[in-house]
Amino acid sequence: MSNIYGYMRVSTSEQNEDRQRIALLEQGVPEKALFLDKLSGKDFERPQYQRLVRRLRPGDVVFVKSIDRLGRNYRDIIDQWRLITKEKQADVVVVDMPLLDTRIGKDLLGTFLADMVLQLLSFVAENERANIRTRQAEGIAAAKARGVRFGRPPKPLPPQFDEYSQRWDAGELTARQAAAELEMPVATFKQKARLLLDAQPV
């Protein structure tokens, strides 16, 4: 008898796989036949995916919610599709795209059409990811141009910083001595002190 499996992937351990799990269970995939990786899709060194592929036998069926669960770029998705359908002789069903169901259209025309749709969708998915990265970079650049700061806010300077900067500038103590008194790294003290002194009116 053919076995039914489901594969889920989320990119980080913080992400939730519930939507994928519900979709696969609704397709009749048994809970015990679900495989989950909480890792990036940048490569296929994913333990649960590898375990699933090793288990596959001819006639088995693998369900995924969307095509990008198999990989994050055009070449990887195509390679994994061929691994499952050609080498392992199992079927793949993409829940979000009924056309990508290798159980139907087993004749030459059906296989050709499924492969064409797969390649088109893989290209579109990869292209959309590239567009998202471009939009994110453009948004960050625009925000920086408006003065938006990213990252952690700067740590406030100690209350006596101005006094010690003046004494350092006057040669009364070394940068190392001032930094030790203020409990700051020497390089940080010198950088901040120069900025402060440069900003003061002559």
pLDDT in tens, 20-69: 999 999 999 999 999 999 875 555 568 999 999 999 999 999 999 988 88
CA–CA separation, 200 and 57 (whole Å)? 76
Pick 14 or 160 by higher pLDDT. Answer: 160
Burial 76-101 (b: 16+ CB within 10 A, else e): bbbebbeebbeebebbbbbbeeeebb
pLDDT of residue 150: 63
pLDDT of residue 16: 79
Q: Are strands 91-94 and 61-64 parallel, antiparallel or unpaired?
A: parallel
Give me the chain's average pLDDT, please. 82
Please tell me the pTM assigned to this model: 0.57
| Placement of tokens 């039914």 in the chain | 4
Catalytic residue ranges = 11
The closest alpha carbon to 29, from 1, 55, 63, belongs to 63
Q: State the DSSP H helix or E strand holding residue 9, giving kind and residue range, or none if neither.
A: strand 4-10
pLDDT in tens, 93-143: 999 888 788 887 666 655 666 677 777 766 766 676 677 778 777 777 777
